[in-house]
Amino acid sequence: MTSSTLPLAPETTTVSGTGACAETTAGYWPWATPTTGPRDLAADGWVRGHDPRTVASGRARAQDPDYPEWLGHVKAAAACKHPIRLAGQIHVNDADGNRMATVDTEDMPDGAIYTPCGNRRAAVCPSCAELYRRDTYHLIKAGLQGDRWGLPPLHEHIAIFLTATAPSFGPVHHRVVKVHAADCRKKDGCTCRASVCHPFGRVCPHGVDLRCGQRHRAADGHLGQPLCLDCYDHVGQVVWNHEAPELWRRTIQQADRELRRLGRAHGVELRRRYIKVYEFQVRGVIHYHALIRLDGYNPDCPDAIVPPPRVITRDLFEEAVRAAFVKTAYTSAGHPANGGQGWRIAWGDKGLDLKHVNAPGGTVNLAQITGYIAKYVTKSTEVTGLSLRRVDDISVEVHGDPATHLGRLIRACWHLGEHPAYARLRRWAHQFGYGGHIATKSRAFSVTLGFLRMQRTIWRRTEGHPHTWDDEQTERVIYELGYQATGWITTGDALLANTAAAMARARHQAGIDALAGELAAHRTAARPLAA
C-alpha cells in the first residue's frame, strides 16, 4: 500500500475541562479518545493501578536486605489472601524427651509464622480453596481408582453417581434447555436456546399471574425467584434445608437395608461406601451429589476392601438405591408456626438423576466425575447472589428484607429459630438453614483430608524425600504457638507475596506442560509406522 492510499489522520479538537486538557476524536477512531486527561492521572498519584502507599510499602520491603529471607519465610502462605500470623516458641526434644533447642518467633521475619487461612470458599480465598479442591479431587480419585495409599485396585467395583434434589416449594423462574449444542459448556456460560419459562399458568389468590413467557439467559437475575413471593413456602424450604443431613442419614441407612435384602436373595454380603457434597440451587435450597461404591465382604478379613460378587449387576444395585430414596420420609419436630405439628421431609418428586460410572457405553467416566464433584467443595451460597457470614440481630434487619426472596428465607430462619428444637436455624441463617458439612464420606471409601495434609507436610519438611521421614519426629517437635493477627502487615507485602506465588505457579505449570509434551513426543516416536 502506498502513502496515497493510507487513511487520513482524524481531526482532533481541544476541549477545556476542570483543570485538565482532554482531546476528543472527530474521526472514525472512537476508541482512541482518552477517557481521562494526563493531569488527572498525575494528580491521583496512582502507578499502574496501585495506590502510591501500596507501591511505597512494597518498594520498602523489596529494598530490605532481608527480603529474600522474608520471601522464603512466607512461602507457605504466599498465595493466601488472609494468612494467619502465629507467635510463640517451637521446642525440639531428643528421643529421651530432653530439650535440645528452642526457636522463638521473635527471631523470625515479622516476628511471626505465616500459615494459610485454609478457607475452602473460592469467594473468600481462591488459593486455599484451590488447594482444598485438589485434595478433594485426589481423595475421590483414590476412592474410585485405588492402587495408592494402601487402597487396593478398585477397577472391578461398580459405582453410581446420583443427584438428589429437594421438593418444590412453589413455582420459580427457571431455565430449561432440552437440546444442547455439541460444544456447549452446559451449566456455565450456556448460550443454547432455552424453553419458555412458564408458558401456562393462572392468577394466584394474591393477584399475581403465575406465567412467564421469557426464555431466560444463563446469568439472568430472575432465575430462582418465585413467581409470587406470598405463595412460596419459605418456611418449608428452610426447614427442609435444616433437616437435609438427617434425611440423608436415614436414606443411607435404608440403602443398607435394601442391600442386605439384595444380598440375602443371592446368598452374598454387600457393603456400600460413599462420598457426597452439597450444592446450593439458585432458589436457595440444597441438593446432594453423591458417589456410591459397592463392595463385597470377606469374612476372613472384615476390614478388607474387596470387589462385589459378579452376580450383583449394575441394574440390581441401581434398583436398591432407588428404592431407598423412594421409601425414606419422616416428619420433623413440631413447631408452633405449623400448629404444633412438624413438616413432612422427603426427597423431590422428580426422582433421582442416577448414572453409572465407567459403565460400558456410558457417558460418565472416572476423570469426569472426579472433577465434577471436587469443584463444588469451593462453592457456597454465591449462586443465589448473597454471600454472608453469621447473621445476628442487627444484620437480620439489613439482609432480611421481606420484599425479596432471600430476605424472606433469612427471616424464616430467624423466626423459626426461637423454638428450642430449631435453634440451629439462627446459627445457619446465612446458609438459609443448612448446617451440614460440605463433604462427608464413609471411612473406608478413601483416605482422609488429614492424611493428605500430613503427606504434604512430610514432603515439605523432608524437602521432597519422604522416605527419610520418621514418625517419631512429630513427637520431638513441640509447638507452643498462639494467634497473633490475620492478614498481611501491609498491602505491599501482599502484592509481593502473591506475585512470587503466581510466578511459582506459572513455572510449575510450564514444567507440567513440558513434561506432557515430551511424553506425547515419546509415544509418537514409539508408535510403529503403518505398512
Local confidence band at 346 (pLDDT 50, 70, 90 cut-offs) = very high
Lookup: cell for 257: 437395608
Lookup: cell for 187: 451449566
pLDDT above 70 for 1: no
Instruction: State residue 275's pLDDT score.
Output: 93
In the numeric block, the cell 503427606 is attached to 455
Instruction: State residue 401's pLDDT score.
Output: 87
51 vs 424: CA distance, rounded Å: 43
Instruction: State residue 199's pLDDT score.
Output: 86
**Of 143, 163, 166, which is closest to residue 155 (Cα–Cα)?**
143
DSSP string, 420-442: GGGTHHHHTGGGTT----SEEE-
Q: Do residues 381 and 431 touch, judged by C-beta distance below 8 A?
A: yes
pLDDT above 70 for 14: no
Q: How many CA atoms lie within 13 A of 86 on its CB side?
A: 16
Q: Do residues 212 and 227 touch, judged by C-beta distance below 8 A?
A: yes
Please tell me whether residue 329 adopts helix, strand or coil conformation: strand
Instruction: Give pLDDT tens digits for 21-49.
Output: 444 444 444 444 444 444 444 444 555 56
Mean of pLDDT values over 304-333: 92
151 vs 445: CA distance, rounded Å: 9
Is the torsion defined by CA of 166, 362, 298, 319 positive or negative? Answer: positive
pLDDT above 70 for 530: no
57-71, 179-193, 276-290, 291-305: which has the highest mean pLDDT? 276-290
298 vs 296: CA distance, rounded Å: 7
**What pTM was estimated for this model as a whole?**
0.79
In the numeric block, the cell 442487627 is attached to 394
Mean pLDDT score of the chain, rounded to an integer?
82
pLDDT above 90 for 323: yes
Helical (H) or strand (E) element with 275: strand 271-280
**CB atoms closer than 10 angstroms to residue 397:** 12
Phi first, then psi: give them for residue 159, nearest 5 degrees: -145, 155
Instruction: State residue 416's pLDDT score.
Output: 93
Please tell me whether residue 58 adopts helix, strand or coil conformation: helix
